[in-house]
Structure 1
Amino acid sequence: MSKRNALKEKSRVLQLDRGEADTTASGENLNEVKLHDLPLFSFSKLANATNNFHSANKLGQGGFGPVYKGEFRDGKEIAVKRLSKASRQGAEEFMNEAKVISHLQHRNLVRLLGCCVDGEEKMLIYEYMPNTSLDVFLFDPLKRQLLDWRKRFNIIEGISRGLLYLHRDSRPRIIHRDLKASNILLDEELNPKISDFGMARIFGGKQDQANTIKVVGTYGYMSPEYAMEGRFSEKSDVFSFGVLLLEIVSSRKNTGFYHDEQSLSLLRYAWKLWNENNIFALIDPVISDPSFHSEILRCIQVGLLCVQEFVRDRPTMPTVISMLNSEIVDLPTPKQPAFTETQNALDTESSEQIRENRSVNYVTISVIGGR
């Protein structure tokens, strides 16, 4: 690509991030993301499959819009993401998700089956995941007992393989930007599939990081350089993966920026236990079998390495996988995680700065909470 074309491409990306590009959900713009390359479903077929989008079939609600379970006459089950007509953010996420995920094929990524574009109706159709999402199991006192260590390690491995594909094996390369427990779907055998690519970004050529004034994601999973400065890269997803890894081992949510003075975020709690040589206290009693302790401890250490404050200190996903599989035997000693020093003052200041420095139109932040 010539220097002139490269500058034009950079300008286009910046315009998209600023919300200045024409990203309404018109037929012309949908053609730009090549939805015609996907199988098309008629509105009537999807209405029949979901019982006219009955509330009893509603699986959830996101920035994109509602998600419904459906079933075709042949018995095939689907999940239908229906764009909320009034949501500009949803329209942008719709086009972005269609553009990104139509390129992707991996066993640990949710599979897009097709789309529907019918007048004002815009929908994406996915394979249905019968065990919903990881957070539903992990943070429920009863359901988490169904996740023994072998299942949890399988989930950890699956997420890491999916991320490796996005960062290194996919063409084009993808940065997810919103990796969290509720975006990890589970199939009938509790195998994980990364979902929700509405906030993902495509990296081209040798690009290894980007900046945005539109910070999107979820407090508690966002890396410090992204939350505070709008810089994101592979290492931003690595940070989110590290938080997820610690959540999977402990069955505790990382409460992120919002908590009272008496409570500790998961990162701060894990770091406190690490320094006290009491890291086994972090482990969920459901999986606290001494025969698995060395493997669990390795996962905790990898998680702490992933959530280190500085980008340069975090491993890449290929290195993470080598660490998890014990191909790298001697792990580095983690440095202090992000958001753990003078936590309360930093959290209050940072969230206020974000509100002051960024227009609300350009910020999409989800606060962790129950489903």
Structure 2
Amino acid sequence: MKVNKKIWSFLSFDLATIINATNNFLNDNKLGEGGFWPVYKGTLLDGQEIAVKGFQGARSGQGLTEFKNEVILFAKLQHLNLGCCIEGEEKMLLYEYMSNKTLDSFLFDSFQSKLLDWPMRFNILCAIARGLQYRHQDSRLRIIHRDLKASNVLLDDNLNPKISDFGLTKICGDQVEGNTNRIFGTYGYMAPEYAIDGLFSIKSDVFSFGVLLLEMRLWKDGTPEQLIDACLVDSCKVSEVVTCIQIGLLCVQHHPNDRPNMISVVVMWSSNNVLSQPKVANFLTNNISLIEGEQSRGRQESSINGVTISVLNAR
């Protein structure tokens, strides 16, 4: 695996430092594990707490592309992650430790979910939207994440979100779309054109954001008030929740051209204009057999997601 030496030296940590920080990767310091990447908590000599994502697929070659992709992205954008370690077959990424872990640990836990009232959730959604807008439009490199989901949103001490896991990211320059024969990501969050045909664009991320937005509240049949999770009733503004649901439905429309971009999403939240009506998101039922068929032929490689996504019907 060859990468410009300047990139490695800019981000490099030695293995001894990481071993010391994690107490030799003590199991009690393990924060979690997914795919090829177990994550450990550590503390550097200056007292800074870190999260170390350790790569285990070196011998088989699995995940090397994702590792390289993430390091190059951080180096080019001078991202605020801490760096990486490459010694022999050991390959690791270092991040700032986020004390509140991931957004999914709150959303899908019956106790933790009660700790996120509506203003907190609304602020998290707005911050994620601004982060995507920056990556799509304002960054000097156009970035398509391709695996946005609740478990890839980290929360700091103040519950400020940070989008993480850029191993599947595509740097597109002036392009706004592309295609691939290898499908990566998480079913339920994938845009249909990407899951079925390998076509990705900034609108693929918009779709994933729409799913995430709808996950931030309870969805069921009924009047708008009945869409609100019981734990949010006392803290929410019904009009804001309904607006978010409508924006979410606009984001998960079947055709990319029907979805807003992230600039429009941000504007919708701050505008009093009447929103357009979303079209029926019928792909969730009509195309599921196509997706499963592609998967059975080994075309897709997707990360694990235990969340069940209900069929969403535009109202």
Shared fold per TM-score greater than 0.5 = yes
The aligned residue for residue 300 of structure 2 is 363
The aligned residue for residue 104 of structure 2 is 135
Q: Do the aligned residues in 2 keep the contact of 1:33 with 1:99 (CA within 8 Å)?
A: no
Q: Report the Cα distance in structure 2 between the residues aligned to 1:290 and 1:298, rounded to whole angstroms.
A: 16
Instruction: Provide, for residues 234-265 of structure 1, a one-character-per-residue CA deviation record: whole Å limited to 9, x for no partner.
Output: 00000000000000122xxxxxxxxxxxxxxx
Deviation at 1:72, TM superposition (A): 1.4
The aligned residue for residue 330 of structure 1 is 274
* Residues 1:320 and 2:265 aligned together: yes
Q: Do the aligned residues in 2 keep the contact of 1:64 with 1:93 (CA within 8 Å)?
A: no
The aligned residue for residue 151 of structure 1 is 120
Deviation at 1:54, TM superposition (A): 1.3
Change (3 A) 1:335 1:290: farther
Change (3 A) 1:59 1:35: same
Instruction: Provide, for residues 43-62 of structure 1, a one-character-per-residue CA deviation record: whole Å limited to 9, x for no partner.
Output: 11100000101111111223
Alignment of 1:249-268 (within 5 A): 249-250=217-218
TM-score normalized by structure 1? 0.78
Alignment of 1:44-83 (within 5 A): 44-83=16-55
SS of equivalent residue, structure 2 residue 62: helix
Alignment of 1:1-371 (within 5 A): 26=1, 29-31=2-4, 34-38=7-11, 40-84=12-56, 85-104=58-77, 111-205=80-174, 207-250=175-218, 273=221, 278-289=223-234, 292-325=237-270, 327=271, 329-340=273-284, 343=285, 346-356=287-297, 360=298, 363-369=300-306
Q: Report the Cα distance in structure 2 between the residues aligned to 1:33 and 1:212, rounded to whole angstroms.
A: 29
The aligned residue for residue 23 of structure 1 is none
Change (3 A) 1:296 1:56: same
Instruction: Provide, for residues 289-318 of structure 1, a one-character-per-residue CA deviation record: whole Å limited to 9, x for no partner.
Output: 386000111001000000000111000000
The letter of the residue matching 1:339 is: F
Structure 2 stretches of 5 or more lacking a match? 308-315
Change (3 A) 1:290 1:165: closer
Q: Report the Cα distance in structure 1 between the residues aligned to 2:15 and 2:74, rounded to whole angstroms.
A: 21
SS of equivalent residue, structure 1 residue 88: coil
Q: Please tell me the root mean square deviation across aligned C-alpha atoms, in Å.
A: 1.9
Q: Report the Cα distance in structure 1 between the residues aligned to 2:8 and 2:278, rounded to whole angstroms.
A: 44
Deviation at 1:103, TM superposition (A): 3.1
SS of equivalent residue, structure 1 residue 36: helix
Q: Do the aligned residues in 1 keep the contact of 2:117 with 2:236 (CA within 8 Å)?
A: no
Q: Do the aligned residues in 2 keep the contact of 1:33 with 1:95 (CA within 8 Å)?
A: no
Deviation at 1:81, TM superposition (A): 1.2
Q: Do the aligned residues in 1 keep the contact of 2:119 with 2:236 (CA within 8 Å)?
A: no
Identity of aligned residues (%): 51
Deviation at 1:281, TM superposition (A): 1.8
Deviation at 1:339, TM superposition (A): 2.9
